[in-house]
Amino acid sequence: MGIFRPMEKNVTEAIHYRRSVRIFKSDVQLDSEKVKKCIENAVLAPTSSNLQLWEFYHVTQKDILDKLAVACLGQKAAKTSQQIIVVVVRKDLWKSRIKANLQFLKSSFGDKPRENYSNPEKFALNYYEKIMPTVYFDFLGLMGWLKFLMFQVIGLFKPTYRQVRQSDMRIVAHKSAGLAAQNFMVSMAAIGYDTCPMEGHDSLRVKKILGLPNRAEINMVIGCGVREEHGVYGSRFRIPFDEVYKKL
């Protein structure tokens, strides 16, 4: 099997090069360390409140790849993948991620009594100690609706954040994970590696294969490899830019 050594691309070149590749070469292997570096770029994506409610499963073992190909409905982008990245949303880890942010902030502010913190420092700590737990805490969806109604009333008098239901917070976590996935795919394109984000998958089977807990959610399954000549199905189509670009 050959090792692929492409020239690295700049951001614009990588974005234009990236396509959803449906068939990958079987005789070209990926450098797992380079793929891992692209995942390291993924975690630098913006994330709501810096909670980083994500995990990235880097699958290289043949037996697991075969199982994932079945869970991805047998599509060629999965069956021919040299490696697969599964982006997982972990909204259930919000408490530990809040704690990690607080520890980071306190170490950044220095070891000093609470009363010696500046107002911006106090605001940052209050954000993670009070506001974030209020937004993320829920019980059977009931607290979410109560918070939703409360914030709608507040919104009658001043601008306020309104997406506080459990379903809203799921969307927030998935948006952050999607941004990370795009960072990963553009990074892969920059080094000449190809990807295919696959919506077509059985999420329950994927979770079982990876041994994920019930509260984890699959955001994206990404096949990885080097494209075959016929691996991209047709020319790229986009709605005319003027139809989607609105300048105010």
Could you tell me the CATH number of the domain that includes residue 183? Answer: 3.40.109.10
115 in any annotated domain: no
Above 90 in pLDDT, residue 148? Answer: no
Compute the mean pLDDT over every residue in the chain, rounded to the nearest whole number: 92
Output the pTM of the full model: 0.91
Higher pLDDT, 167 or 7: 167
- Strands, DSSP E only, in the chain? 2-3, 28-29, 54-59, 83-89, 194-198, 217-225
Confidence at 101, pLDDT banded by 50, 70, 90:
very high
Residue 38 belongs to what domain range?
Answer: 2-12+21-92+169-231
Domain membership of residue 46 (yes or no) is: yes
On whether the CB atoms of residues 198 and 222 are closer than 8 A, the answer is yes
131: in domain: no
Is 108 a residue whose pLDDT tops 80?
yes
Is residue 28 a part of any domain in this protein?
A: yes
Structural domain count of the chain: 1
In a domain, 104, yes or no: no
Contact 82, 224 (CB under 8 A): yes
